[in-house]
């Protein structure tokens, strides 16, 4: 464990983001034993122009003018910085050379704001932890002087149109410069090793407390009223990531099973033929605090992802939620599922999905439920950050850096 250090965290998600964030969870875990500065991404010109009436942008404009503070305490050892300097919107420039030249200027402005906060907080000999900021993180070492620079890769962002254009050049160059790359997927760790031999899989944290089954969790009436075997999924129903033909195949092949889908639908799901199948039950969107009750009512939980370059390495936090509730899990055999070993059933084809669901139903017993719960509970943020610390210490020792 690393204690008593100063850690600066930069990334692509601000502290005031409205959804869950790996980076925020990691920063909070860092702050249990270290002083942490969490830096929001700076405001760019296009965002300021297009969203100037949105409260979050208004706040950033006021901070840039000096009418509001830029540095806020979050907890005893954790501060949040809103950079004052506006950066230019340069991502759609056609030439990488021009983009990179302007990116250096943006980075210098960004680093100036960070250095100001570092000075005010009295940070010394700090660690810089970068969550996926492949542009502003590309030249950051020219303007800041951390003892250790760690790049955290938790998604294959360069497959996304926005990041791909210049990220396909910037990210590899960044990874070569970083002291250490940590990843939440074995696939991403392998990718990182092409550019830096210090690229390691550290797993993923998950806050599973609300999913821990107990007597107070009651199966909702709309689910309890469905008679027979219930094969369920909770989450956003999007045709970009979930395999609609696969779900249809399962439903048609086993009409005696109920396929229960809990979550909001995108347009592909709304117009799909799944709605014409009597044994496919769409229960609609539910608040996150209701999801454990629905999972409790499933006989088998599924994650029928499309296997693609985008999904293959994505860590499926949903699997931990299913496991913590003791449920048998059948999922698409992505590379990321290797992390779960034999605690879940991984299928490579629609036919195998049927076979493994049948197997899961047959094999389920209290002993297996206990084992699944143990696996799900082991994937904590504490364990995740402990792995990050292990590799920080490994690299620091090799490079003769004192931590």
Q: What is the pLDDT of residues 1-11, one digit of tens each?
A: 899 999 999 99
Would strands 127-131 and 71-75 be described as parallel, antiparallel, or unpaired?
unpaired
* Predicted local confidence at residue 309, as pLDDT: 85
CATH code, residues 209-378: 3.40.50.2000
Other residues' Cβ atoms within 10 Å of the Cβ of residue 398: 11
Range(s) of the chain covered by CATH 3.40.50.11010: 6-205+381-398
| 11 vs 110: CA distance, rounded Å | 12
* Predicted local confidence at residue 362, as pLDDT: 97
Q: Check residue 196 and report its DSSP letter.
A: -
- Give the domain 6-205+381-398 fold: Rossmann fold (3.40.50)
Structural Rg of the chain based on CA atoms: 23
**Which pTM was predicted?**
0.89
* Predicted local confidence at residue 87, as pLDDT: 97
| 273 vs 226: CA distance, rounded Å | 21
* Predicted local confidence at residue 21, as pLDDT: 87
Backbone angles phi, psi at 246, to 5 degrees: -65, -45
* Predicted local confidence at residue 298, as pLDDT: 97
CB 321 within 8 A of CB 295: yes
Spatial neighbors of 357 by CB under 8 A, at least 6 apart, are: 231, 250, 254, 257, 300, 302, 330, 345
* Predicted local confidence at residue 106, as pLDDT: 98
Range(s) of the chain covered by CATH 3.40.50.2000: 209-378
| Helix, strand, coil content of the chain in percent (nearest 5) | 45, 15, 40
Residues of the chain with pLDDT under 50: none
CA 125, 129, 135, 136 torsion-angle sign: negative
Q: Check residue 70 and report its DSSP letter.
A: S
Spatial neighbors of 318 by CB under 8 A, at least 6 apart, are: 234, 235, 303
């Amino acid at each position: 464990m690393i204690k008593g250090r100063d850690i600066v965290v930069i990334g692509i998600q601000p502290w005031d983001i409205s959804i869950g964030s790996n980076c925020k969870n990691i920063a909070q875990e860092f702050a249990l034993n270290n002083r942490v500065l969490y830096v929001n991404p700076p405001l760019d010109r296009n965002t300021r122009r297009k969203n100037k009436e949105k409260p979050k942008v208004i706040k950033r404009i006021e901070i840039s003018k000096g009418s509001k503070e830029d540095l806020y305490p979050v907890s005893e050892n954790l501060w949040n910085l809103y950079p004052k300097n506006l950066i230019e919107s340069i991502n759609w420039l056609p030439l990488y050379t021009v983009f990179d030249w302007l990116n250096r200027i943006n980075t210098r402005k960004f680093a100036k704001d960070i250095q100001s906060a570092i000075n005010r907080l009295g940070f010394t000999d700090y660690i810089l932890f970068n969550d996926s900021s492949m542009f502003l993180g590309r030249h950051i070492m020219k303007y800041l002087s951390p003892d250790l620079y760690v790049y955290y890769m938790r998604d294959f962002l360069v497959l996304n149109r926005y990041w791909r254009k210049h990220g396909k050049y910037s990210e590899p160059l960044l990874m070569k410069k970083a002291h250490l790359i940590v990843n939440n997927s074995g696939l991403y760790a392998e990718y990182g090793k092409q550019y830096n031999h210090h690229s390691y899989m550290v797993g993923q944290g998950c806050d599973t407390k609300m999913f821990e089954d107990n007597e107070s969790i009651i199966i909702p009436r709309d689910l309890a009223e469905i008679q027979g075997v219930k094969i369920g999924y909770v989450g956003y129903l999007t045709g970009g990531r979930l395999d609609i033909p696969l779900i249809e195949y399962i439903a048609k092949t086993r009409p005696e099973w109920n396929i229960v889908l809990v979550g909001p639908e995108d347009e592909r799901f709304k117009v799909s033929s799944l709605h014409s199948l009597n044994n496919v039950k769409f229960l609609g969107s539910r608040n996150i605090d209701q999801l454990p009750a629905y999972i409790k009512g499933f006989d088998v939980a599924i994650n029928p992802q499309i296997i693609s370059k985008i999904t293959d390495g994505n860590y499926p936090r949903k699997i931990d939620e299913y496991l913590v509730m003791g449920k048998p899990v059948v999922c698409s055999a992505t590379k990321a599922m290797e992390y779960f070993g034999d605690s879940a059933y991984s299928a490579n084809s629609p036919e195998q999905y049927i076979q493994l669901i049948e197997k899961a139903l047959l094999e389920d017993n209290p002993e297996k439920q206990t084992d699944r719960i143990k696996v799900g509970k082991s994937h904590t943020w504490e364990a995740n950050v402990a792995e990050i610390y292990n590799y920080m210490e490994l690299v620091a020792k090799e490079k003769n850096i004192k931590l």
